[in-house]
């Protein structure tokens, strides 16, 4: 599905329980640090952040690091490993946030910005980006997924990338949202560099779609209309009766839940009088219900209908922790870490990278055969091994027993 100039696609991210075993997690951190150092050396800090903002590249990174190929945990654990890797590396990039760290993110941004020597103004811009990206994907895009993970990565040059994820407990699925400052024209007009997930089964209110521009302007105007705000506070039925809209047209707004909005949030909105939709979203207390109610007013009063278009890009090197396509091979994993670290440090390693680039260029454009154990990026004892059948019990030696240890 194409959306403006942004290429997007669909991948399935089922919700999984458990945590990464410690023996695997710290290997993930070391390998992520080595990969990051090489990428920064070869493509610069901006190049690394741009790749993190690509859903397909991020998915492949999680697979290379050895996590589940399509699990919701790939996002959270890969993000944590990347955060710990970058915060412990001297590459001019820091990361803040993660699963269950919402209250700590802005403080971590401040500390990371101070370590990178960023100005107070640039630090405030990063904090604003963190808040706005989270608010957009939790309130302005209402797709049935509740945001529970937010990670922001930023460089000493001021570039940043955001990876965040929402869950649908009812569907047992997750959805991942990617952002990159280098391709961002507006926080509220087609802002994502990619969205990975499963097609939503509920109507999706998309206030950051290009076709919602009129509805965004009308929502800002409605925020200064005390009469409309009082009616919003009265709930969906009061709005329906007041504006005289009967029939099924307005019912779609109630699909996402009731419109019983806290009057305190609406009063703050009226007092602040936001001038832009970005300012509106940043008003304290403005969440999904306020955004939805204002969108309804925008259509009923101003005739500006919002978009209901759902804004919806995978490789194994060391196996997966659940034993698919085969259990993690620790010996091969450790050898890869050593070679990546040595390559990052040595002149010979950089020469080897030049040779690899030549190989990549010479094979670019050729057709690729389907995956087989012999064509996977593996060496040593696992090469040629047959992946276990789906549902088969993985080997304990491979480390794919139920996750108990937390990173």
- Helix ranges restricted to H, 156-225: 213-222
Higher-scoring residue by pLDDT: 263, 118: 118
Same domain as 58, residue 11: yes
The DSSP secondary-structure symbol of 173 reads E
DSSP string, 277-301: HHHHHHSTT--HHHHHHHHHHHHHH
Q: Could you tell me which residues are beta bridge partners of residue 155?
A: 93
Q: Stretch 270-279: mean pLDDT, rounded?
A: 96
pLDDT at 147 over 90: yes
Same domain as 190, residue 273: no
Same domain as 349, residue 251: no
Q: Could you tell me which residues are beta bridge partners of residue 146?
A: 167
Under DSSP, is residue 371 helix (H, G, I), strand (E, B) or coil?
Answer: coil
Say what the pLDDT of residue 39 is: 96
Q: Which of 118-132, 306-320, 327-341, 369-383 is predicted with the least confidence, judged by mean pLDDT?
A: 369-383
**Sole residue written with tokens 């276990």:** 388
Q: Stretch 62-83: mean pLDDT, rounded?
A: 80
Domain boundary residue among 252, 270, 302? 302
Q: Which domain holds residue 219?
A: 210-302
How many angstroms separate the CA atoms of 162 and 84, rounded?
16
pLDDT at 235 over 80: no
Same domain as 174, residue 195: yes
As for how many domains the chain has, the answer is 2
List the helix and strand counts (H, then E) for the chain.
Answer: 13, 10
100 exposure class (CB count in 10 Å sphere: 0-12, 13-18, 19+): exposed
DSSP string, 14-36: E---S---HHHHHHHHHHHHHHH
Domain boundary residue among 268, 302, 336? 302
How many angstroms separate the CA atoms of 268 and 258, rounded?
21
**Sole residue written with tokens 């493509």:** 43
Same domain as 256, residue 155: no
Same domain as 214, residue 192: no
pLDDT at 126 over 70: yes
Tokens of 42: 């070869």
pLDDT category, 348, cuts 50, 70, 90?
Answer: low
Same domain as 102, residue 33: yes
Same domain as 252, residue 187: no
Same domain as 357, residue 399: yes
Same domain as 240, residue 165: no
Same domain as 328, residue 276: no
**Sole residue written with tokens 């194409």:** 2
Same domain as 378, residue 320: yes
């Amino acid at each position: 599905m194409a959306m403006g100039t942004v290429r997007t696609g669909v991948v399935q991210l089922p919700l999984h329980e458990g945590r990464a075993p410690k023996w695997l997690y710290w290997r993930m951190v070391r390998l992520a640090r080595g990969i990051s150092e090489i990428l920064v050396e070869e493509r610069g800090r901006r190049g690394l952040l741009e790749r993190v903002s690509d859903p397909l590249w991020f998915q492949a990174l999680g697979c290379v690091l050895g996590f589940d190929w399509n699990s919701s945990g790939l996002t959270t654990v890969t993000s944590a490993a990347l955060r710990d890797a970058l915060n412990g590396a001297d590459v001019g990039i820091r990361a803040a946030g993660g699963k269950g760290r919402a209250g700590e993110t802005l403080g971590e941004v401040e500390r990371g910005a101070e370590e990178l020597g960023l100005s107070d103004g640039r630090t405030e811009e990063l904090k604003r980006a963190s808040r706005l990206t989270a608010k957009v994907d939790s309130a302005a895009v209402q797709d049935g997924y509740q945001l529970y993970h937010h990670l922001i990565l930023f460089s000493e040059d001021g570039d940043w990338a955001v990876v965040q994820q929402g869950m649908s407990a009812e569907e047992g699925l997750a959805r991942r949202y990617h952002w990159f400052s280098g391709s961002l024209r507006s926080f509220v007009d087609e802002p994502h560099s990619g969205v990975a997930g499963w097609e939503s089964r509920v109507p999706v209110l998309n206030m950051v779609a290009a076709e919602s521009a009129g509805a965004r302007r009308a929502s800002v105007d409605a925020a200064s209309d005390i009469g409309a705000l009082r009616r919003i506070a009265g709930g969906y039925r009061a709005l329906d009766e007041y504006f005289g809209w009967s029939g099924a047209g307005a019912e779609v707004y109630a699909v996402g839940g009731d419109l019983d909005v806290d009057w305190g949030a609406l009063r703050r909105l009226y007092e602040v009088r936001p001038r832009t939709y970005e300012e509106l979203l940043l008003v304290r207390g403005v969440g999904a219900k306020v955004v939805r109610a204002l969108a309804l007013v925008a259509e009923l009063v101003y005739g500006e209908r919002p978009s209901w278009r759902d804004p919806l890009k995978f490789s194994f090197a060391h196996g997966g922790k659940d034993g698919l396509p085969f259990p993690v091979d620790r010996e091969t994993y450790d050898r890869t870490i050593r070679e990546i670290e040595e390559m990052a440090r040595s002149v010979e390693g950089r020469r080897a990278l030049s040779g690899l680039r030549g190989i990549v260029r010479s094979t670019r454009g050729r057709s690729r055969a389907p995956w087989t154990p012999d064509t996977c990026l593996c060496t040593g004892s696992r090469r040629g091994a047959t992946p276990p059948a789906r549902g088969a019990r993985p080997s304990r030696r491979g480390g794919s027993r139920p996750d108990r240890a937390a990173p």
